[in-house]
Structure 1
Amino acid sequence: MRVFVAGGTGVLGRLLVPQLVARGHQVTATTTSPAKLGLVAEMGADGVVMDGLDAVSVGEAVAKARPDVIVHQMTALNFVHAGKPDFKSDRYFANTNRLRIEGTDHLLAAAEATGVSHFVAQSNAAWNGTRDGGWDKPEQDPIELHAGPVAHMVIKPIRHVEDVVLKAGGAALRYGWFYGPGATDDQIELIRKRKFPLVGSGTGYWSWVHLDDAVSATVLAVEQKARGVFNIVDDEPAPVSEWLPYLATCAGAKPPRRVPGWLGRLAAGELAVLMMNEVCGSSNAKAKRELDWEPRYPSWRQGFKEALA
């Protein structure tokens, strides 16, 4: 197939593009920087400079590529600010929120204008499911919208992605927290400097996914023309109080400091407290069943150890 990867030089895109090429697909990958066109060529794809927030730029890029499927991987996440973790939504999520709303709309409009038959988009597994019941949430549980106004600023763009992509007959992949090559370098450095504390009780459950597994699931969603929402996560959601000290051990660092919620709220924002104490994990049963996907790293325990060996 002709595959258009928007965000082809991002953390996931730079691993996804060569996998698609290796499987015989003709790939066009976008970047926001002309300096990265050489990287795209090295991956075996055609490169195009595109501004995902500019409807004309997106329309021209898609029209030229004439793809069979569009894969939306555009984000702009960087949670380190001034040398410390910072989940304050105005800095951490602002550009990504725009890409999830405006960027998604531009890509879908271009898809409709050029007759693209399928669409796969990046979503996020951190917010699916209310805090009632267990911590291992399936896709049919609603995205949590009861976490307060700061979290709403993050969750609403995710809901927008899923709503418009599903309406168009595409697939939304709710990835867990990425780790692997280049995905957690900043976090690991902070952990080694003991600048990544455990805030509050650390009872929030996170679902992780190795980048290699995220890529393999995305390839399957593209090739099978999957439709609907899929949690792309490993088999073992775990509380922050469990995985963070283990990650520190794997990184050769001292145990993370513990700070009360009020102090974490001042330093890193309300969202950081929420994410460390109240979010839910996700179930990957649907992706295994319908995509025939099996993660190479079924547990972050194995994955962290190998990634930092």
Structure 2
Amino acid sequence: MRVFVAGGNGVIGRRLVPQLVARGHQVTATTTSAAKLGLLERLGAEAVVMDGLNATSVGEAVALAQPDAIVHQMTAISGKPDIKHFDRWFATTNRLRTEGTDHLLAAAQATGVTTFLAQSYASWNGIREGGWVKTEDDPLDPTSTGKGAAAIRHLEDVVVRAGGAALRYGAFYGPGATDDQVELVRKRQYPVVGNGAGHSSWVHLDDAASATVLAVERQVRGVFNIVDDEPAPASEWLPYLAACAGAKPPMRIPVWLARPLAGRTAVAMMTEGRGFSNAKAKRELGWQLRYPTWRQGFKEELA
């Protein structure tokens, strides 16, 4: 297939492009910087510069590539995590999930592309009621990340309505994905809040990429949780991450102190977050994980 990867230079894109190429697909991958074209070409893609927030730029890039499938991996997540000011930290990503998605869907419609996949998110943001692990049939928490939650709802609504698939990736780890978090852990600036009962789901970048390749090839529709086998509370995964990173155990701080220091989002994630089940993705995609649990993955990545 001819596959158009929007955002090919991101942490997931850099793992996805080589896997698509290895499976025999012809890949066009985009970047916002001409300086990154060489990197994408070395990964085996035809590289193009595209501004995902400019409808004309998107339309021209897609029309030139003439793809059979479009994979939307555009984000703008970089720098030190700022969960306290989540909306500010994710402002451009939120636009890429709304305006950028709309531009790509318009380009798909104009060129007759019917296979469309887009990056969504499912780590700790399941609806905060009932059990700790959610399926695709459960709603996301509408208040989990402020404007970010609204952007994800928009992306999923328009993509699924257009006959595409929203891939809800868990929290990424792997090459380049958690460097900033690990640095905070080593500085003991990433504490467990309250009882740390809030659950999160993780996925290694290579496993996320392999699931995406399968989703492209099977031309799936609907929503899929792309997470590993073990949703876990912060009280388990954070101390384990610290141990794998050779750091001291994380500090523990009460909710009343964390709320003004880290913000409502961090408190919700650590104390009330809901993880996700990958049963549908494994069943319908035939997906087999190289890293079934973050326990294995953290240890190998930080060894």
CA contact (8 A) 1:128 1:142 kept: no
Quote the offset at 1:146 in angstroms: 4.9
Quote the offset at 1:133 in angstroms: 2.2
Whether 1:111 aligns to 2:108 is: yes
- Which of 165, 172, 183 is matched with 1:189 structurally? 183
- Three-state SS of the structure 2 residue aligned to 1:88 is helix
Whether 1:282 aligns to 2:276 is: yes
Q: Which amino acid aligns with 1:188?
A: V
Aligned to 1:94: 91
Give me the whole-angstrom Cα distance separating, in 1, the residues matched to 2:256 and 2:48.
46
Report Cα offsets for 1:170-220 as digits up to 9, x if no partner.
111000000011111111111111111112221110000011100100000
- Three-state SS of the structure 2 residue aligned to 1:80 is coil
CA RMSD of aligned residues (A): 1.3
Quote the offset at 1:127 in angstroms: 5.5
Report Cα offsets for 1:30-77 as digits up to 9, x if no partner.
001000001011011111111101111101111110100000000112
- Three-state SS of the structure 1 residue aligned to 2:146 is helix
Give me the whole-angstrom Cα distance separating, in 2, the residues matched to 1:228 and 1:208.
21
CA contact (8 A) 1:79 1:86 kept: no
CA contact (8 A) 2:123 2:202 kept: no
The answer for unaligned runs of 5 or more in structure 2 is none
Give me the whole-angstrom Cα distance separating, in 2, the residues matched to 1:58 and 1:260.
47
Give me the whole-angstrom Cα distance separating, in 1, the residues matched to 2:256 and 2:31.
40
Whether 1:206 aligns to 2:214 is: no
Whether 1:246 aligns to 2:243 is: no
Aligned to 1:77: 77
Report Cα offsets for 1:64-92 as digits up to 9, x if no partner.
101000000001123626xxx53412322
Aligned to 1:261: 255
The answer for unaligned runs of 5 or more in structure 1 is none
Aligned to 2:48: 48
Count the aligned residue pairs: 303
Aligned to 1:155: 149
- Three-state SS of the structure 2 residue aligned to 1:71 is strand
Whether 1:31 aligns to 2:31 is: yes
Return the TM-score normalized by structure 1. 0.95
Quote the offset at 1:272 in angstroms: 1.2
Return the TM-score normalized by structure 2. 0.97
Quote the offset at 1:270 in angstroms: 1.6
CA contact (8 A) 2:202 2:227 kept: yes
Give me the whole-angstrom Cα distance separating, in 2, the residues matched to 1:271 and 1:129.
13
Aligned to 1:62: 62
- Three-state SS of the structure 1 residue aligned to 2:27 is strand
Aligned to 1:138: 135
CA contact (8 A) 1:67 1:116 kept: yes
* Counterparts in 2 of 1:127 and 1:166: CA distance versus 1, 3 Å: farther
- Which of 156, 164, 167 is matched with 1:170 structurally? 164
- Three-state SS of the structure 2 residue aligned to 1:264 is helix
Q: Which amino acid aligns with 2:98?
A: I
- Which of 227, 230, 235 is matched with 1:233 structurally? 227
